[in-house]
A and B are shown apart, each in its own frame.
Chain A
Amino acid sequence: MLRNLLKSVTTRNLRCSIKNNGVTTNFVNQRSIAPLSTTELALKEEKVKVTFVLYDGKKLETEAKVGDTLLDVVVNNDLNIEGYGACEGTLTCSTCHVVLKKQDYDRLPEEACDEERDMLDLAYGLTDTSRLGCQITLTKDMDGLEVKVPETINDARS
Chain B
Amino acid sequence: MRPKMTYKLLKRALSTSSYRSRPQVCIVGAGPAGFYAAMHLTKKLESVNIDILEKLPVPFGLIRYGVAPDHPEVKNVINQFTKVAQQPNVNFYGNITLGKDVHLHQLRQHYDAVLLSYGAEEDKTLGIENEDATNVVAARRFVGWYNGLPCDKDFKVDLSGRTAVILGQGNVALDVARILLMPIDELKKTDITEHALSALSESKLKEVYLVGRRGPLQVAFTIKELREQLKLKNCRTIWNEKDFIGVEKIVPDLPRPRKRLTELMLKSLNENQTVTDDDQIKYFKPVFFRSPNKFLVDKNNQLTGIELTCTKLVGDKLEEQRCVPTEEKDVINCDLAFRSIGYKSVQADKDLILKHGVVENNKGIVEDSAGLGKLYVAGWLGTGPVGVILHTMGNAFQVAKVMLENLNSIDSYNKGGFTEIKKIISENNSNVIDWGGWEKIDKYEKEQGKLKGKPREKVCSVEKMIEIAQK
Contact = CB atoms under 8 A, between A and B. Distances in A.
Please list the 9 inter-chain residue pairs (A to B) with the smallest Cβ-Cβ separation, ordered nearest first. A90-B73, A121-B257, A86-B77, A92-B73, A88-B76, A153-B394, A118-B224, A118-B223, A152-B394
A57 interface: no
Interface stretch (A44-52, A62-70, A122-130): A122-130
Interface string B239-264: 00000000000000001110011000
Given A86-B77, A118-B224, A153-B398, A93 B390 contact: yes
Contacts of B224: 92, 115, 118-119
A95 B73 contact: no
Nearest to A24: B72
Interface in A3-53: 18, 22, 24, 26
Contacts of B257: 121-122, 126, 158
B223 A91 contact: no
Contacts of B74: 87, 92-93
B71 interface: yes
Contacts of A82: 39-40, 43, 397
Given A22-B186, A122-B222, A157-B386, A95 B260 contact: no
Interface in A115-153: 115, 117-119, 121-124, 126, 152-153
Most buried by B among A93, A95, A115, A117: A93
B79 interface: yes
B71 A92 contact: yes
Contact of A93 (B43, B77, B227, B387): B77
Please classify the interface of chain A as helix (H, G, I), strand (E, B), loop, or mixed, using the class held by over half of its residues.
Answer: loop
A80 interface: yes
Contacts of B260: 117-118, 121
A122 B388 contact: yes
A18 B71 CA distance: 12
Interface string B185-198: 01001000000000
Given A87-B77, A91-B73, A92-B71, 5 more contacts: A22-B186, A83-B397, A86-B389, A92-B224, A122-B257
Contact of B227 (A80, A114, A124): A114
Contacts of B73: 18, 24, 87-88, 90-92
Nearest to A27: B76
A103 interface: no
A127 to B, nearest CB: 10
Please classify the interface of chain B as helix (H, G, I), strand (E, B), loop, or mixed, using the class held by over half of its residues.
Answer: helix
B80 interface: yes
A22 B233 CA distance: 13
B227 A152 contact: no
Given A24-B73, A83-B36, A83-B39, A121 B223 contact: yes
Nearest to A18: B73
Contact of A95 (B40, B387, B393): B393
Interface residues of A, number: 31
A123 B387 CA distance: 11
Interface string B363-401: 000000000000000000001001111110111011000
A20 to B, nearest CB: 9
A83 B256 contact: no
A10 to B, nearest CB: 19
Contacts of A94: 390
B420 interface: no
Nearest to B80: A86
Given A82-B43, A94-B390, A122-B257, A22 B227 contact: no
A133 to B, nearest CB: 14
Interface string B26-67: 000000000010011001000000000000000000000000
A123 B388 CA distance: 10
B201 to A, nearest CB: 18
A123 B57 CA distance: 33
A65 to B, nearest CB: 22
B43 A121 contact: no
Contacts of A154: 394
A121 B395 CA distance: 18
A88 B393 CA distance: 15
A157 B387 contact: yes
A19 B218 CA distance: 27
B70 interface: yes
A12 B163 CA distance: 41
Nearest to B186: A22
Interface in A75-109: 80, 82-83, 86-88, 90-95
